[in-house]
Structure 1
Amino acid sequence: MASLVRSVLPALLASLLCVSAAESQAAPAAQPDAEALAKGEYLARAGDCIACHTAPEGKPFAGGRPMATPFGTLFTSNITPDPETGIGTWTADQFYQMMHTGRSPDGGLLYPAMPFGSYTKVTRADSDAIYAFLMSVPPVKQANRPHDLRFPYNNRQLVLGWRTLFFREGEFKPDPKQSAEWNRGAYLVEGLGHCGMCHTPINALGGSSESQAFQGGLIPMQNWYAPSLTSNREAGVGDWSIEEISDLLRTGISRRGAVYGPMAEVTYNSLQYLTPEDTRAMAVYLKSLGQEVAPPVTSNVPTAESSLLLSLGKTVYDTNCASCHGAQGQGKPPHYPPLAGNQSIQMSSAVNAIRMVLNGGYPPGTEGNSRPYGMPPFAQSLSDNEVAAVVTYIRTTWGNHGAAVTAQEANQLRSAPLD
C-alpha cells in the first residue's frame, strides 16, 4: 500500500480527533478484563492511533502533533483518559459516536483529517474494545493546542458541506458473495486501516470520490505519491502471490520490493503488529483490487534530451547504484530491491523514485526485518541533471516502461520535507 507506499499520511493524517476532549461529564466505564484490553490494544494498532496522537518526543496518545494541510495546521488531540484534557469523561457510547459519525460528545463536527470516513465502518464491538484500551493507558494532563487554520477553514461549520459531499455513514457490511477471509481483509483495509486516506486521490476540497477509491494520488503537503492499488502498473498486486503481499505488509520487505516513506511508518507503527492471518486477509482483498492494467506512460521530455539523460544516467547508475541493485537492475532481494520490472519505479508519478535518490531511506525495523538495509542519500553528491538522468535510466531500462524526468522535477523535490 503506500510504496505499495500507504503513507502514510502514515499515511500520516490518520486518527485525528479535532475536538475538545473534556466536553462530556459522563462517568468512565468499569475496568475490563485483560483479554478485552489486549483486543483493544491490537485494534488500536490496526487503526494506527499512536502515529498521529503522539507528538515527536511526546507521551503516548497525549496529542499535540502538528499536521500540515493545504488549509493550515491541525494539532492532534489528547486521547488519554485524563478527565480534564483527555477523554477520561467520555463513555463508550460517546466514543462510538465519534468513530461512527465524526461528531464529538456535544455534537460538534470533527475535521475530516480524522479519518471518520473510514472509521464509520468499524463495528460497535471493536469500537468498545479500542475505547477500553484507551481508558487503560496512563492519563496525561496536556491541554489540546488550538488549530491554526486560515479563514474561512477555521469555521468548523463548513465541515457540514464537506460531509454532504464526501461522508457516508455506516458500519462495514460483509459481501455474502465473498469469503470470510476476503471480508476480513476488506474490513481492515477500508475501515481501521483507512488505506483510502492516502491511496485515493484528494481533491481541492480535501475530499475524495468513491468512484476513484484506491486509484492513488499525491499525499498533500508531504510530496510522496501513494500509488494506485487498483492498477497493476503501480501498486496493484494482481500478479503477486498472497505470501509476497502479506510479507510486505507485515515486515516491510519482500522479494518484490520494500516500503519507504509514509508507508514505512505505517508498517512500523501498525502493520507489523497484526497477526499473519490478518495480513493474509488484507493481501487477499488487495489482490482482488489489482486488476486494471493502465497503458504505459509517455514521456514529455524531447527525444534528444532523453537520449542524453539515458547516457548520463547509465554512468551515474554504474558508479553509484549497480553494486547493490545489480548491473541489470536485478537487485539482491529482499534487502536490495530489484529495479528491473519494479512497478514502483514505473508509476505515472516519478516523485517517489526521485525522493529515494535524493534522500535515501530505510524500510521499517520490524520483527521480520530487525536490521533493515537502507539506501544512502545522494542529494549532496549528485546534481539535478544527474538525479534526473539516473531516475530516467532506471525507469526506462531493462524493459521498464516509465517516462523520463527532468532536472526541474528533481530540483523541486530537493526542499521537500523528510517526514
Structure 2
Amino acid sequence: MKRLLVSLGGLLILMLLLAAGVVGLNLRGEDPIGQAEPPAVLDAAQVERGRYLALAGNCASCHTERGGAPYAGGHGIPTPFGTVFAGNLTPDEATGLGRWSADHFWRAMRNGRSRDGRLLYPAFPYAHYTLLTREDSDALYAWLRSLPPVTQANKPHELRFPVNTQAALAVWRALFFSPARFEPDPSRDAAWNRGAYLVRGLGHCAACHAERNVLGATTGRFELGGGLMPVQNWYAPSLARADEASVADWPVEDIVALLRDGVSPRGSVLGPMAEVVFRSTQHLSESDLQAMAVYLRSLPQQPLPPAPPASEEGEEPPPPPPSRAVGQRLYEQHCVQCHGERGEGVPDAYPALAGNRTVTMASPANLVRILRHGGYPPATAGNPRPHGMPPYGHLFDDEEMAALATYLRSAWGHQAAPVTALEVYRYR
C-alpha cells in the first residue's frame, strides 16, 4: 500500500511539473500590459500605414464574411479539427476590439492571446505574425480603430473534443509555438531583409506553402517546401523546388508581375493563390514586391528526385496505361481548341500545358481541382479581364477525369505518374 501511495505521489508531482512547464512555455516572451485604454485620437499617417499593412497581411480574407461588413468577422475557417470562426476586428465595444488597447493587440499578434487572456487558435496565424515589429502592430491597431464599429457577436468555434479546450491548446502551443522577433540578416541587403520580413511574417506564406503534421503544426526541412492544404485539398507547391514553384531562375520583374497582376511570362496563379493576389499582393508597392521577389529567388533549393531509369537497349517500352487513349480523346474534344495540339497554348490568353509544372509535379491535386472546378486567374489592374477555364466536373466522371489527367501528364514528353480515379475522388 505504501509503495502504491509513493507511486501515485510521484505521478502527481510529475503531472504538476508538466503542467507548470506548459504554463511557463505559454507565458514566455510576453510583455506586461501597460496602457489600459484605447487612444482618444488617431494619427492619420499611422492609420494609412496600418491600412497598407492590413492589405499585405490579407486580413480581410478571413475577417470579412461574404456580403458582410468589412472586418466584422463571422467567416468560418475549416480545419481538420472543426471550424474556427474569425473574430470581429471593428472597434465595437461590445463585440469587437473597442476595449482593446494597443498593448492587448500587440500581445495577440506576438503571443496569440486575447484581451481576456484566452489562448487563440493558430488558424489566426500568430505563429507568423509574432515576427512583426511593435511599430507595425500599432499601425494595424490604429487602422482597425479607424473603422466604423459593427455590432456583431463572434460565433463560437465548432471544434471537436479535446481540441476545443484551452488545456489542449496550451499543450499544442508548448510543443509548436514560440514567440519570436524578426532579426535582419546583416550579411544581406535591405531589399532581401524587407522581403524576408514580409514573406515570413505579415504575408504568412508558410501557412500554406509548408507541410503540416497530424496536429496541424507546420513542419518540413525546407522553408516554403510545399504541402497539401488541409480540407481545401489544394497543394501549395514548394517554392524551393525547380519542378514545382521555385522562382530561383526567374527574373525579378517576372516574379513581381506574378504577384502584382496574377500573370507573368513564366506562369499564372489559380486557386487560393489567386485570392491572395486579388485581395493582397496586387495592392503592394513596387519596392515591396521587388523585395519579396529578391527573397523568394534566394531560397535554398530542394534536390530534385532521381530521374526514372532508362529502358535497356532492345527492351520493349511498357504499354501505356489503358486510360491514356480515353484521355487523348477527351483532350481532342474539349481542350485542343484553346491549348493546342502540342499543348502550346496561346500567349497572353491560354497557358501552355507542355512543360507546365502544375501538370507534371508529383502531386496531381491542383491539376485535378482545375479540371473539375475550373481555373480563374484574379482580375487585377494589370490584367483586368483574365481568361478563365470552365469546369468539367459536371461532364466527366472520376474515371474520365483520371484518364484526361493521365494523358496530360504523359503527353509532349512528360513523364509524370498516372492519375487514378481514387486520387480524383480524394482531391475533388
The two structures have a TM-score, normalised by structure 1, of: 0.88
Corresponding residue SS for 1:74: strand
Q: Which has the larger radius of gyration?
A: 2
Look up the match of 1:329.
343
In 2, Cα distance between the equivalents of 1:390 and 1:362? Answer: 20
Residue from 279, 284, 296 that aligns with 2:294: 284
Look up the match of 2:416.
402
1:53, 1:63 within 8 Å by CA — same for their partners in 2?
Answer: yes
Amino acid at match of 2:237: P
Runs of at least 5 residues in structure 1 that lack an aligned partner in the other structure = 1-23
C-alpha RMSD of matched pairs (Å): 2.1
Residue range with higher mean Cα deviation, 77-86 or 257-266? 257-266
In 1, Cα distance between the equivalents of 2:42 and 2:285? Answer: 23
> Is the counterpart of residue 136 in structure 1 residue 150 in structure 2?
no
Question: 1:223/1:210 Cα in 2 relative to 1: closer, same or farther (>3 Å)?
Answer: closer
In 2, Cα distance between the equivalents of 1:318 and 1:84? Answer: 60
Look up the match of 1:196.
206
In 2, Cα distance between the equivalents of 1:297 and 1:269? Answer: 39
Q: Structure 1 residue runs of 4+, over 6 Å off?
A: none
Question: 1:174/1:115 Cα in 2 relative to 1: closer, same or farther (>3 Å)?
Answer: same
2:192, 2:294 within 8 Å by CA — same for their partners in 1?
Answer: yes
Residue range with higher mean Cα deviation, 210-219 or 371-380? 210-219
CA drift at 1:213: 3.0
Residue from 206, 212, 220 that aligns with 2:216: 206
2:51, 2:143 within 8 Å by CA — same for their partners in 1?
Answer: yes
Amino acid at match of 2:322: L
2:223, 2:299 within 8 Å by CA — same for their partners in 1?
Answer: no
> Is the counterpart of residue 146 in structure 1 residue 156 in structure 2?
yes
Look up the match of 2:93.
83
Look up the match of 2:108.
98
CA drift at 1:291: 2.4
CA drift at 1:162: 1.4
In 2, Cα distance between the equivalents of 1:381 and 1:357? Answer: 10
Look up the match of 1:252.
262
Amino acid at match of 2:74: G
1:143-174 deviations in Å (ceiling 9; x for gaps):
11111111111112212221122112112111
In 2, Cα distance between the equivalents of 1:51 and 1:238? Answer: 28
2:222, 2:300 within 8 Å by CA — same for their partners in 1?
Answer: no
Look up the match of 1:365.
379
Question: 1:296/1:227 Cα in 2 relative to 1: closer, same or farther (>3 Å)?
Answer: farther
Instruction: Report matched runs for 1:204-353 at 5 Å.
Output: 204-209=214-219, 211-289=221-299, 291-295=301-305, 306-353=320-367
1:242-295 deviations in Å (ceiling 9; x for gaps):
111111111111122211111111111111111121111111111112622421
In 2, Cα distance between the equivalents of 1:158 and 1:383? Answer: 42
Corresponding residue SS for 2:425: helix
In 2, Cα distance between the equivalents of 1:298 and 1:268? Answer: 39
In 1, Cα distance between the equivalents of 2:419 and 2:91? Answer: 50
2:211, 2:220 within 8 Å by CA — same for their partners in 1?
Answer: no
Corresponding residue SS for 2:323: helix
1:237, 1:290 within 8 Å by CA — same for their partners in 2?
Answer: no
Corresponding residue SS for 2:96: coil
Instruction: Report matched runs for 1:44-59 at 5 Å.
Output: 44-59=54-69
Corresponding residue SS for 2:139: helix
In 1, Cα distance between the equivalents of 2:87 and 2:116? Answer: 16
In 1, Cα distance between the equivalents of 2:179 and 2:127? Answer: 7
In 2, Cα distance between the equivalents of 1:272 and 1:251? Answer: 6
Amino acid at match of 1:110: L
CA drift at 1:31: 2.9
1:329-367 deviations in Å (ceiling 9; x for gaps):
122233311211222221111010011111103111111
In 1, Cα distance between the equivalents of 2:264 and 2:97? Answer: 40
Question: 1:176/1:315 Cα in 2 relative to 1: closer, same or farther (>3 Å)?
Answer: same
Higher relative contact order (CA 8 A, sep 6+): 1
Amino acid at match of 1:37: V
Question: 1:209/1:379 Cα in 2 relative to 1: closer, same or farther (>3 Å)?
Answer: closer
In 2, Cα distance between the equivalents of 1:85 and 1:298? Answer: 58
In 2, Cα distance between the equivalents of 1:246 and 1:309? Answer: 40
1:253, 1:335 within 8 Å by CA — same for their partners in 2?
Answer: no
Residue from 104, 108, 118 that aligns with 1:108: 118
Amino acid at match of 1:308: P
Look up the match of 2:398.
384
In 2, Cα distance between the equivalents of 1:326 and 1:364? Answer: 23
Residue range with higher mean Cα deviation, 191-200 or 160-169? 160-169
In 2, Cα distance between the equivalents of 1:132 and 1:370? Answer: 32
